[in-house]
A = this chain, B = another copy of it.
Amino acid sequence: MHFIEGAGTVDQLPVDALVGPCRVVEFDGPRHISAAWLEQADIPEGTERILFKTRNSERWREPVKPFDRDFVALDRTAARWCVDRGMKLVGIDYLSIEPQGPEKEGYPTHKMLLGAKIVIVEGLDLKDVRPGEYDLACGAIKFEGGDGAPARVFLIER
């Protein structure tokens, strides 16, 4: 319901997406994550939950700074790649997963991911997290009828 009228609300998010194995992937580019980059990033087949650690995470050293549109996001090709790979949850380390600027028109990243019922997690602070495999527990509050909710997110080392 965050971007698609009449669609699911945050209290209905499947627990199956919120809890389970998760890969943290580091992206060191200056601008958006694309399918071409993902293709060569050695992400194992069968990965269902993925969090992207980017230069955005450095922002959390000053969490009170105003919203800054110059952040790394997922472009529409990356969103399509996540859908094609059967992802259940995709997270990013700034306040939106959508590229800002002209490519934002129509919100293709949000609509592609949410249209495939992929849970989007925004605002993650990954600056002290090493890339690798974890078990994720994404504790999204069940706001009845909400289109989003705060979440406490744990990555558990194996």
Range of interface residues on A (Cβ < 8 Å) = 10 to 19
Which among A53-61, A93-101, A147-155 touches the partner chain? A147-155
Q: How far is the CA of A157 from the CA of B153 in the complex (A)?
A: 19
Does A140 have its Cβ within 8 Å of any Cβ on chain B? yes
User: Does A129 interact with chain B (Cβ within 8 Å)?
Assistant: no
Q: Which residue of B lies closest to A143 (CB)?
A: B150
Q: Are A19 and B137 within 8 A (Cβ)?
A: yes
How many copies of the polypeptide does the oligomer hold?
Answer: 2
A140 & B154 in contact (Cβ 8 Å cutoff): no
**Chain B positions within 8 Å of A152 at CB level:** 139-142, 151-152
Q: Is A15 an interface residue (CB 8 A)?
A: yes
Interface flags, A13-53, vs B, CB<8A=1, else 0: 00100110000000000000000000000000000000000
B139→A15 contact, CB < 8 A: no
Question: Is A156 an interface position by the 8 A CB rule?
Answer: yes
Distance A113 CA – B137 CA, assembled complex (angstroms): 26
What residues of chain B lie closer than 8 Å to A154, measured between beta carbons?
A: 15, 18-19, 137, 139
Other than A19-B137, A137-B154, give 17 A-B pairs with Cβ distance below 8 A. A15-B154, A18-B154, A19-B156, A137-B137, A137-B139, A137-B156, A138-B139, A139-B140, A139-B151, A139-B152, A139-B153, A139-B154, A140-B152, A141-B141, A141-B150, A141-B151, A141-B152
Closest CB pairs A-B (n = 7): A139-B139, A137-B137, A139-B152, A141-B150, A137-B154, A19-B154, A141-B152
